[in-house]
A = this chain, B = another copy of it.
């Protein structure tokens, strides 16, 4: 621990500078115009790994964005840790809500402010720096491999195939991922479950051109009215999703496990205050944590159609659109769900409109057992740094690729997240507390140490 603290103290400023260099690259994977930035980010990661002490580091092209891979094999008989992170970030709109330039990081109030400060450049960089620390202080007890992808925020469409093509190179005993949050800065937690995701775009077409809402209004179906009505039908009065067959594969969580999960601290008043809502909502019969952790959800992520400018334009528009997502729980297959929704949504369209549903992306859910050495090593590492045993936690978020790793590589992932809810990932003013960044760099080498010991 002393070695760790000393190395961090001496290299603090440089660690931050190295992170800032990465944050300055606007590597937004969902916008085609940022394609060159994806290559810049891949190059930056390659240099970072080499400087940290990797034996080799390489950029692999895929059909989409590149993957940076690097490794240091110290002894083939020792356990191997495969670190996964992603170099791509979410778009920054609504840009007017940012207090600073999202791609010009700054430190203020003890936090790093930038798109990707937490998700996942900040958390990814902790691993590079922890790795460097172990190499430079001669304390690395495992072989290490890094794979940093550039398409996580768009559902990792090419990484699964890349893993299949590189199964041997990626051989490992555990995959280590920091792309999740802790319950709070003083309540360390390890995410043991992730939700899956299915995401669609729907297009409703009424008349073939925008019409005068006076001359036609009342007898020609308005695609916005229809879209609203169709969306409303997707969830019933009890918060249940109405797509036929949707819940067929949902694993109902046992009463005992629900009781255990219920022990995770949750302050409803504070939760509501943080996001400024008066009342929570959701599926009847479940607590807020259960609704986001062990139950699926249905959210419209975007909607648009008709006149959206200044003032009052009276129009009966030709088209309306929505981006719709469901979060899925382990055992629900996103491909099956994508089909179910498409068929159902198209089937309930009135004959007065045309409806098209296209699947935009998806991923499976994931569960990590809490009795494997890797999980226990993580538990001990957090305990050393935070002085508390971390709580196992089912997160509502999705990292679709995690279940693919298990399928393709046959390896479990441990989700050692250091983010906080207040980090505003995917939102304006994303940030990452310095404290969490440096605590992460402290915790990771301890994980390696315990993992090596427990794997003996």
- Contacting residue for A207 out of B221, B229, B277, CB 8 A: B277
A454 proximity list for chain B (CB < 8 A):
none
Taking a contact as CB atoms under 8 Å apart, the answer to whether B207 and A311 are in contact is no
A378 adjacent to chain B (CB < 8 Å): no
Stretch in A104-112, A288-296, A340-348 touching the partner:
A288-296
Give A252-300 interface residues, CB cut-off 8 Å to B. 275-283, 288-289, 291-292, 295-300
A296 proximity list for chain B (CB < 8 A):
218
Give A291-335 interface residues, CB cut-off 8 Å to B. 291-292, 295-317, 320-323, 325, 327
Stretch in A38-46, A53-61, A390-398 touching the partner:
A390-398
CA distance A154 to B307 in the complex (A): 14
- Contacting residue for A215 out of B210, B317, B351, B396, CB 8 A: B396
A244 proximity list for chain B (CB < 8 A):
none
Taking a contact as CB atoms under 8 Å apart, the answer to whether B210 and A428 are in contact is yes
With A32-B310, A197-B214: A208-B276 Cβ-Cβ less than 8 Å: yes
CA distance A296 to B292 in the complex (A): 42
Taking a contact as CB atoms under 8 Å apart, the answer to whether B297 and A313 are in contact is no
Taking a contact as CB atoms under 8 Å apart, the answer to whether A314 and B325 are in contact is yes
- Contacting residue for A308 out of B218, B295, B302, CB 8 A: B302
Return A246 CB to nearest CB of chain B, in Å.
14
With A228-B300, A421-B215, A427-B209: A306-B288 Cβ-Cβ less than 8 Å: no
Return A345 CB to nearest CB of chain B, in Å.
13
In the complex, what residue of chain B is closest to A229 when comparing beta carbons?
B232
A250 adjacent to chain B (CB < 8 Å): no
Taking a contact as CB atoms under 8 Å apart, the answer to whether A218 and B312 are in contact is no
A376 adjacent to chain B (CB < 8 Å): no
CA distance A275 to B308 in the complex (A): 22
Return A240 CB to nearest CB of chain B, in Å.
11
Q: Mark A342-382, 1 if CB is under 8 A from B, else 0.
A: 00000000111100000011000000000000000000000
A70 adjacent to chain B (CB < 8 Å): no
A351 proximity list for chain B (CB < 8 A):
278-279
Return A355 CB to nearest CB of chain B, in Å.
12
